[in-house]
Structures are given as structure tokens and as C-alpha cells.
């Protein structure tokens, strides 16, 4: 039990440390770079990351699951995975060179491909540490790389490097992380190399890569489509608004899931108790996340106007819609985790892929006329349909208390709406400087807590009961 708590603590430390550094560096880049340079760097990095996400998921998890000696597997993945990444990089840079007359963008993509190469070659070494459950080493190498990358990127931005700063941060992070892993473990990658072993590992990981392609590539795909059909300035506006929402959402979601996953898995064979527990988790998660993002919708425009100059004002409406979508997504946060815990993770994969393709098709169709708003509208369609799909998927494995969920979600929505109204009235009556924004946030929080307590007395007792649940 003690070792499990320590391992989870290091995982939590790594995830929140990464998010914290990402938030700080992102805000500095937004202050120092304009939308065009910001969008250019994000677009170049996204091209390399698109292949990196697929290749890493293709190779890492099968290595973790294997119980045989990793000497041949590690060497095969290190060298042949690196060769695959190198060939992909050459083809990608060549295609961009032929398709684009922007020499700066071609150079940025070529530099970003170093991240692809380093991240793929690190997979066997990461898999070794995961098999050894050495999460402390994983956390240290990732955070050290992130800190060095952030320092390099911010220094470059301060020096006027523009889009190079964003790409430099990611490249320094992954290259340093690879060198850290090789330190003391280089002998594991000097073993025999085998094509059949590499192809066997890739075959095992193909289903995982397919899931990552459908779930993790939606926003990246939208970014690439916006870059192909509009301009880097449009990409900058969308990336700015999306990251302002997604970074805190990701931190909260991963923190909550690190608690919820073992608790749900422990009840996988308890029938209707799973549905009751997931219902409790969903309600108290919505109690936290819905007012957070509704509040962001209310005060976000004033914060953007106060903290950033006028060049980011065009992203305000995008930010508000994405904040509302983040609140809605929190309602079904635990569905994928429940499906995985029940051994039914394959349910809905086809629907996820079709929904992602539909959303990307909408971006391609609408972006020439609507710009960044096309991506936001496509995400609205995706989120709305996904809520229905998630309800169907969870109904295949367990039964939730839908009547209770509807009542509690209704109370949360009403309390959040009252909070939104009060904050909106304050913003209309007073000049929103830093002090007034802080007063609006505290007033909104107080209104929410009082109104929800009136609607659902003793709610905190249920929250304490869920928090004491043994995982």
C-alpha cells in the first residue's frame, strides 16, 4: 500500500509539475509573441507531434506489457524506431518544402522533427522504468527537461527569436530527457536489432495507436487544417484560447482520474455498485469543474484584456465558448475510465473515430469563411454528440442513477448561472482592474457556494464520504 501511494504521488507530481511549467511558459509566450509568430511555432510543432503521438503509443505500451527479456526488444525499438522517425522527418520536411514557399516554416518543421526523433528513441527506456515502477526517475527526467526547455524557450523569446522559441522549448525538453535516460542505461540499446521483433511490437501496439489517433489527435488535426486553409494568425488565436482552457482542465482531469481509476477498478465486479459510485464521482466532479469553467467564461474576457494587450482580443469569444464546452465535458469525465476498468475499452472506438472525422471535415469546410471559429463550432458539435455517445457507452457496462444525476446537475447549473449573473453585473458596473477582478471572483465563489448549499443542504457530507473511499 505504501509503495502504491508513493508511486501515485510521483505520477501526480510529474503531471502537475509539467502543467504548471507549461502554463507559465505559455503565458510568457503569449505576452512576448504576437498571434502570427505564436501560431507559426505551434503549427510547426504540431506537425512533428502528430507522428510522435502515434509512434510512441505504437511502441511503448507493448514493451511495458511484455514479460520477456527486453534486451533485444529495447535495441530494436531504439534503432528501428529512430530510423522510422528519421525517414518520416525527411519525408515530412520534403513535403513541406515542396508545398510551402515559406523558408522559415520549413526550417521550423525540420528543427521540430528533432523532438519526434528523441521522443520515439526514448520509448524503450521509458518502458523499462515503467516496468520497474521507477516513477521517481520518470518524473525527475521529465520535469528537469521541461525546466531546461522552458528556460531555453523563454530566453529565446526574450531575445526576439519569435516562433523559434516555442519549438526550441519542446526540442530541448525531449533531447535532454533522452540523454538523461541513456545515462547509465546505454548498454540496453546496444543489443541485437531484429526487424521481426520490431514489427511484432508495432502490431501489438496498433490498437492503442488507433485509440490515440482518434482521441488525442482531434485538436492537433484542427490546428493543421486551420494552418492549411487560413493563416498562422488564425492558428495563434485558436491555440491561445484552447490552451488557456485545456491546460487547467488537463491538470484537474488527470489529478481526479489518478484517484478515480483505482477506485473504479476495485469495484469492477460489484455490479450496480459501480454505477452508483461513478454517479457520486460525476456529481462531485461537476460540483468543482462546472463553476470553475463557467466562472472562467465570466471573468476570462476581463483577464485577457487586463493581462494581454489588444492583439489577443480576437480570441476572447473563442475562449468563452471553449470554457463552456470544458464544463460540459466534465459531466462524462469518468466514462472512458469506467469502460477500461470493466474490460470494455473497445466500446465506442468506431464512434469516436467517426465523430473526430466529422469534426475535422467541418473545420476543413468552414474554416476558409469562419477562421478559428470553425474549429470552435466543430468542437461544439463534437462535444454535444459525444455526450450522447458517452451515455450510451456507459449504459452498456453499468447502470447510472440518471434521475439523481439530472437533479444534481440541474442544481449545479442553477447555482453556476446565478454566479455568472452576479459576476456579469459586476463587470458591467465597475472598471475591471486586477483588484476588481479578484473581488468578482471571490463574490462569484461565495454566491455559488451559498446558492448550491440552499439547493442541496449537507452536500459536503457526501463529498467527504466520496473522498474517504478506499482506493
pLDDT tens digit string along 93-126? 999 999 888 889 999 999 999 999 999 998 888 8
- Predicted local distance difference test score (pLDDT) of residue 469: 57
Burial class (CB in 10 A: 0-12, 13-18, 19+), 298: buried
**Number of folded domains in the chain?**
2
Query: Whole-angstrom Cα distance, residue 39 to residue 23?
Result: 17
Main-chain phi, psi angles of 468, to 5 degrees: -85, -5
Q: Are both 198 and 293 inside the same structural domain?
A: no
Q: Are both 67 and 4 inside the same structural domain?
A: yes
Structural contact between residues 16 and 255, judged by C-beta atoms closer than 8 angstroms: yes
- Predicted local distance difference test score (pLDDT) of residue 1: 44
- Output the nine-digit C-alpha cell for 140: 525527475
Q: Are both 193 and 329 inside the same structural domain?
A: no
Last residue of a domain, one of 181, 196, 216: 216
Q: Are both 182 and 326 inside the same structural domain?
A: no
Last residue of a domain, one of 216, 251, 274: 216
The number of beta carbons lying within 10 Å of the beta carbon of residue 65 is 12
- Output the nine-digit C-alpha cell for 57: 503509443
Residue 102 parent element (H or E)? none
Q: Are both 154 and 239 inside the same structural domain?
A: no
Q: Are both 200 and 226 inside the same structural domain?
A: no
- Predicted local distance difference test score (pLDDT) of residue 392: 85
Query: Whole-angstrom Cα distance, residue 70 to residue 66?
Result: 8
- Predicted local distance difference test score (pLDDT) of residue 127: 80
Q: Are both 328 and 452 inside the same structural domain?
A: yes
Q: Structural domain of residue 368, as residue ranges?
A: 218-471
Q: Are both 283 and 344 inside the same structural domain?
A: yes
- Predicted local distance difference test score (pLDDT) of residue 69: 63
Q: What is the chain's mean pLDDT, rounded?
A: 83
- Predicted local distance difference test score (pLDDT) of residue 326: 93
- Predicted local distance difference test score (pLDDT) of residue 456: 81
Q: Are both 166 and 288 inside the same structural domain?
A: no
Q: Are both 237 and 166 inside the same structural domain?
A: no
Last residue of a domain, one of 163, 181, 216: 216
- Predicted local distance difference test score (pLDDT) of residue 4: 47
Question: Helices in 371-455 by DSSP H: which ranges?
Answer: 372-395, 402-429, 434-455
- Predicted local distance difference test score (pLDDT) of residue 152: 93
Structural contact between residues 238 and 318, judged by C-beta atoms closer than 8 angstroms: yes
Question: Terminus-to-terminus CA distance in the chain, angstroms?
Answer: 10
Query: Whole-angstrom Cα distance, residue 366 to residue 225?
Result: 11
Q: Which residues of the chain have pLDDT under 70?
A: 1-18, 65-72, 133-136, 184, 207-216, 255, 258-259, 261-262, 268-272, 345, 461-471
Q: Are both 171 and 284 inside the same structural domain?
A: no
**C-alpha pair distances (Å), 313 with each of 178, 300, 305, 321:** 39, 11, 7, 14
Q: Are both 38 and 185 inside the same structural domain?
A: yes
pTM exceeds 0.75 = yes
227-232 own/partner pairs: CB under 8 Å, 24+ apart:
227/39, 227/43, 227/46, 229/363, 229/364, 229/367, 229/368, 230/367, 230/368, 230/371, 230/372, 231/36, 231/39, 232/35, 232/36, 232/37, 232/39, 232/40, 232/43
pLDDT tens digit string along 183-209? 867 777 787 788 888 888 888 777 666
Amino acid at each position: 500500500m505504501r509503495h502504491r501511494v508513493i508511486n501515485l504521488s510521483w505520477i501526480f507530481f510529474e503531471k502537475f509539475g509539467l502543467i504548471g511549467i507549461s502554463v507559465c511558459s505559455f503565458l510568457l509566450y503569449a505576452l512576448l509573441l504576437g498571434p502570427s509568430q505564436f501560431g507559426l511555432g505551434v503549427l510547426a510543432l504540431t506537425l512533428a507531434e502528430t507522428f510522435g503521438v502515434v509512434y510512441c503509443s505504437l511502441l511503448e505500451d507493448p514493451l511495458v506489457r511484455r514479460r520477456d527479456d527486453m534486451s533485444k526488444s529495447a535495441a530494436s525499438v531504439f534503432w528501428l524506431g529512430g530510423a522510422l522517425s528519421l525517414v518520416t522527418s525527411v519525408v515530412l520536411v520534403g513535403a513541406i518544402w515542396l508545398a510551402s514557399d515559406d523558408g522559415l516554416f520549413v526550417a521550423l518543421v525540420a528543427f521540430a522533427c528533432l523532438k519526434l526523433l528523441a521522443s520515439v528513441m526514448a520509448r524503450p527506456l521509458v518502458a523499462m522504468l515503467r516496468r520497474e515502477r521507477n516513477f521517481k526517475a520518470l518524473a525527475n527526467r521529465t520535469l528537469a527537461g521541461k525546466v531546461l526547455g522552458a528556460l531555453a524557450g523563454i530566453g529565446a523569446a526574450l531575445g526576439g527569436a519569435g516562433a523559434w522559441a516555442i519549438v526550441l522549448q519542446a526540442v530541448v525538453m525531449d533531447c535532454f530527457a533522452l540523454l538523461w535516460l541513456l545515462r547509465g542505461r546505454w548498454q540496453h540499446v546496444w543489443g541485437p536489432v531484429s526487424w521481426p521483433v520490431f514489427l511484432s511490437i508495432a502490431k501489438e501496439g496498433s490498437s492503442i495507436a488507433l485509440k490515440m489517433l482518434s482521441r488525442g489527435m482531434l485538436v492537433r488535426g484542427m490546428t493543421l487544417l486551420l494552418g492549411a486553409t487560413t493563416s498562422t494568425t488564425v492558428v495563434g488565436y485558436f491555440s491561445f484560447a484552447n490552451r488557456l482552457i485545456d491546460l487547467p482542465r488537463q491538470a484537474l482531469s488527470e489529478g481526479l482520474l489518478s484517484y478515480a481509476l483505482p477506485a473504479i477498478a476495485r469495484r469492477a465486479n460489484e455490479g450496480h455498485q459501480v454505477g452508483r459510485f461513478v454517479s457520486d464521482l460525476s456529481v462531485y466532479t461537476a460540483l468543482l469543474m462546472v463553476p470553475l469553467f463557467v466562472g472562467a467564461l465570466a471573468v476570462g474576457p476581463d483577464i485577457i484584456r487586463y493581462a494581454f494587450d489588444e492583439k489577443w482580443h480576437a480570441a476572447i469569444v473563442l475562449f468563452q465558448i471553449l470554457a463552456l464546452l470544458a464544463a460540459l465535458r466534465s459531466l462524462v469525465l469518468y466514462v472512458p475510465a469506467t469502460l477500461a476498468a470493466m474490460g470494455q475499452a473497445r466500446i465506442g472506438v468506431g464512434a469516436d473515430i467517426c465523430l473526430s472525422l466529422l469534426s475535422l471535415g467541418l473545420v476543413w469546410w468552414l474554416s476558409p469563411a469562419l477562421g478559428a471559429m470553425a474549429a470552435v463550432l466543430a468542437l461544439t458539435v463534437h462535444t454535444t454528440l459525444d455526450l450522447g455517445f458517452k451515455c450510451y457507452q456507459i449504459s452498456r457496462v453499468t447502470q447510472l442513477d440518471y434521475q439523481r444525476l439530472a437533479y444534481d446537475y440541474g442544481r449545479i447549473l442553477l447555482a453556476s448561472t446565478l454566479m455568472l449573473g452576479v459576476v456579469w453585473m459586476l463587470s458591467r458596473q465597475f472598471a475591471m482592474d486586477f483588484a476588481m477582478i479578484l473581488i468578482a471572483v471571490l463574490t462569484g465563489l461565495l454566491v455559488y457556494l451559498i446558492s448550491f448549499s440552499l439547493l442541496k443542504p449537507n452536500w459536503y457530507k457526501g463529498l467527504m464520504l466520496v473522498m474517504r473511499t478506499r482506493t
